[in-house]
Chains A and B, each alone.
Chain A
Amino acid sequence: MKCFVGIDLGSTTTKAVVLGERSEILGRGITNSRSNYDLAAQVAREEAFITTRFALLRQQVEQAAGQQVLTRLLRAFRLSQTLTQLTRLSALILKEIERSVPAALRDAAREKVLGIVATIEQEEKARFEDPDPPARSDFFRDAAGSAYMRLAEERGEPSGVSFDRLVGLYDKCIIGVENEPLELGFRHHIGSALELAGNSPAVRAGVEAAVSAELEVVRSVGTGYGRARLPFPKEQIRSEILCHGLGAHRMFPGTRTVLDIGGQDTKAIQVDEHGIVTSFQMNDRCAAGCGRYLGYIADEMNIGLHELGPLAEKSTRSVKINSTCTVFAGAELRERLSLGERREDILDGLHRAIILRAMSLLARSGGIQDQFTFTGGVARNSAATRALRRLVEENYGEKTINISADSIYTGALGAALFAHREAMA
């Protein structure tokens, strides 16, 4: 089947979206950005194709065997991927042990690492069997990484193979796992999944159809930071502003203003009724108030990024934070804590400060017209969205504010739409 691909190389994550002939969304993929942009693009695209194939088999399997089977199949697929990556990680670490661990410790190191990996494998399999597992990040690095850290801490011996040494081995090799092209594709993993999740003729037929479907990429468009290094000719690269505007418009056809707070930049975009950008402002010279800033704050407080929002929501008193400078984030935080301010209140003030910056940018770009769409990583932060709703209402009155869980794909979606429009024109 003919398809159209959009790829958005962000500073933190790379996204891909695959559209069908009627510009319907077939699949989406996301991966951590890394220094090799070609690879990031490739991995994201592969992920998108995987979900595309899952979309293809979805209907059939669901009809034939029900939602639960489908879900189990998907999770089995992911498990197969994870186990393959764990094997790869293990192999790389063993090689690294030969290279860099002193001879006296090598056996012990090997034993510990293999033990850790085996435990993670067991945990992953147990998670697969768990009907309602706790939510977690989809990325191998995050899931496997936190498990590895935890086990390394438990099993590291200060006098022998220490926690630091175990972590060092992981750090050296994880990049190798991520930077490898996915050798084993959909067919392999879905095969394993079928073994794991159980087999019925209807399911197998659906899977076979999905596996053998030919996905013909008619046109690709790339965008995002570092997009000049995408393996596309210049004509197939589109500004991330335009992609973002078009993508947001596709998700919310009534939108006229779009705010994107990403890892290290903020964009305020006005679009017309066709999704064409009419004006924009960017804040990309300094990462103050962007995702990265929140990352520093989370690190300082020793909590996860996703915990910032809920904690801030517990605030009962507003604290005015005047600067969202990343350089001083730590110092400002420490001073306020030392003055007796509560974490919740500081965080609340902080989120308001971030949104205030965004409000200025929006004012520069032409204000907030109905409907207003908020995208980017920071849009997933409940305290940020709360502050935004408050400030929008205070200054622009009542506006419809769109916040979608899928907003991280906005740029890639817009790029794919460009690919579609241009190919079909």
Chain B
Amino acid sequence: MAGLTGCTTMSEKSPRSPSSRSGDGGFGPRTTQGVRLALLGVVLAAGAAGVSTFAYFQSPYWNRVGVASSQPIPFSHRHHVSEVHLDCRFCHATAETSPAAGMPSVTTCLTCHSQLFAREAMFIPLQQSARTRTPLLWAKVNTLPDHVIFDHSIHLARGLACAACHGDVGSMALTAKARALTMRQCLDCHRSSSPSGHTAPGTNLLTNCSTCHH
């Protein structure tokens, strides 16, 4: 457009340019190049920030996968499951009958540990609890996302193995979360096991929102 080219001529003989040196306001080609690079840097930084945030929320650091939390007693599932061959339900008794899997009472522990290793220092909390009749508090390992109504019994009734969510506890010296247990993981399973095969919400009972949220 003729109009636009007109202004080069104009800008050269610009009225009162301050000092001939800073006609470009100190922006020589090099400076300009620097500015361009800086701009590029800003763009890249923004991108990087986004990616790392996303990565953070997927990371074990956030969802604690494989991170064993410290317990009052260094309980080993490996020992009790792989070596002693206890059934899960021996301790987690109500898993098949109620929403909660159930934690063993101290007395349950003492059925063996009143004799076995009873002298070991690590059992002091156990004996204290038994003596003082105060509950023994364990650190919770498997946490679900917010606002979920979860029922162990119905999952077992539908033939889901404990390991499907809790992993191979038999190989854990100290118990840790085996899977992130994010909503997506729930959905992966609920969608695939839909009787009708298709996964559009509303066509499969298991993908109904109210199945887990109400």
Q: Do the two chains belong together in a single complex?
A: no
List B residues at the A interface (Cβ < 8 Å): none
A residues sitting closer than 8 Å to B (CB atoms) are none
